Amino acid sequence: MRSGVDTPMALRHQKALIHRNTVMISPILPTYNRAPLTFERGEGSWLITTDGDRYLDFAAGIAVNVLGHANPVLVEALTAQANKMWHVSNLYHIAEQEALAERLVEHSFADTCFFTNSGTEAAELAVKMVRKFWTTEGQPERFRILTFEGSFHGRSSAAIAAAGSEKMVKGFGPLLPGFTQLPWGDVAAIREHIFADDIAAVMFEPVLGEGGIRPVPDADLKAIRALCDEAGVLLVLDEVQCGIGRTGKLFAYEWAGISPDIMMVGKGIGGGFPLGALLATENAAKGMTAGSHGSTYGGNPLACAVGNAVMDVVATPKFLGEVNRKAGLLRQGLEALVASHPDVFEEVRGAGLMMGLKCKPPAGELVNAGYAANVLTVGAADNVVRLLPALNIPDADIAEGLQRLDAAATALGGK
């Protein structure tokens, strides 16, 4: 059967097969240590594997699936838009984008928004906007941004330089200059550095996410805002993980009664569809004019149709009231869990439905024990396991998740 074997197509195919047999790397760049789980579909706070196993989802795609999986409201918004128009360029007016921007402006400190496809891109623009602001002010020598150690702003060159952790930056230098990391949450350190001539902004997460679920106390947020005002520098808050209802307010900064000049949003805002945004005051955004920034996909009709549907549901006092009530149930359950497993847990911390369990054994062991008990959690730095359920998780699923965490802790403690 020689016929056909020597055709150019067949030869190319053969060559590709031989090549595949000589490489060790997986077709997917191995930058993640993945759990041996493949999910096929989701229903609310549950994920179902290809084998039909059901897992209670306390991870929500790392604070992304704010309304759970396959939420009918979001499915309807997505499919209705998909049937009309997926994408048009930002060369034109986009009605869905304008509607979402107006909603975000109405419900926040901001006067203006730029839409992105991710939190990283929003952080990238935040850094650019800060620099442009000071250039417009005639002080381009002010470019240094004070950040906190242990922060996470994404994986772009600017975002890793901003966070500065060894794990993220190693091997990727030389880094973008202009960032100084201070000890996490250290207001005195900010006071010490902020009055220098080159300081442009202070940038941090009001509730540390990847770094191990640590809320900056309201009094400290107020003090940092006051220091920024006194020094005349910009306050940039990264609410990519803690925004969009996660803490029980639409945005975490609201708890402290302050407002930033610039803020990054992402994760929950698309409810699972890739979407991010940079929010800013008119003053902070004044250097950004036509041609100074752009994005092919950012704010496209499909993403914004879903974003509008998320905001319709989340940005209401009733929904946020329910988030706070559910957060109370979760916290109460977690306090009890920690009390009954002193060998496994050190403490509960967090805000709203953004909770962390600081562990005694390696946190990864609890995450794995969770898989065995069919509950999904997420590790974080500082030996913390994150619990980030959907904001509309039914009370019964909170109780079920707590039972499964208890089983996981029992399995771990018994070793």
Ligand X SMILES: *Cc1c(COP(=O)(O)O)cnc(C)c1O
* Residue 133, marked binder: no
Q: Residue 211 Cβ, how far from ligand X at the closest point, in Å? A: 9
* Residue 238, marked binder: yes
* Residue 130, marked binder: no
* Residue 197, marked binder: no
* Residue 295, marked binder: yes
Work out the widest C-alpha separation in the chain, in whole angstroms: 83
**Which residue has the CB atom at the shortest distance from ligand X?**
119
255 touches ligand X by CB under 6 A: no
Length reported for the chain: 415
238 touches ligand X by CB under 6 A: yes
Tokens 């809320």 belong to which residue?
A: 215
Indicate the residue among 152 and 179 with the shorter CB distance to ligand X: 152
154 touches ligand X by CB under 6 A: yes
Indicate the residue among 71 and 120 with the shorter CB distance to ligand X: 120
* Residue 259, marked binder: no
Q: 207-233 burial by CB neighbour count: b if 16+ within 10 A, else e? A: bbbbbbbbbbeeebbebbbebbeebeb
Indicate the residue among 238 and 365 with the shorter CB distance to ligand X: 238
Would you list the DSSP string of 256-272?
GT---SEEEE-GGGGBT
Q: How many CB atoms lie within 10 A of CB 399?
A: 13
CA angle, 207 then 210 then 214, to 5°: 35
Would you list the DSSP string of 131-143?
HHHHHHTT-TT--
Give me the 53-92 binding string for ligand X, x by CB under 6 A, dash otherwise.
----------------------------------------
Instruction: Write out the binding residues for ligand X, residues 203-232 only, by CB under 6 A.
Output: 205, 209-210
Token pair for 192 = 């010490």
Q: Residue 294 Cβ, how far from ligand X at the closest point, in Å? A: 18
Q: 288-316 burial by CB neighbour count: b if 16+ within 10 A, else e? A: beeeebebebbbbbbbbbbbbbbbebbbe
Give me the 101-120 binding string for ligand X, x by CB under 6 A, dash otherwise.
-----------------xxx
CA distance 105 to 102: 5
* Residue 404, marked binder: no
Extract the annotated binding site.
Answer: 119-120, 152, 155, 238-241, 295-296
- Interface residues with ligand X (CB under 6 A) are 118-120, 123, 152-154, 205, 209-210, 238, 240-241, 266-267, 276
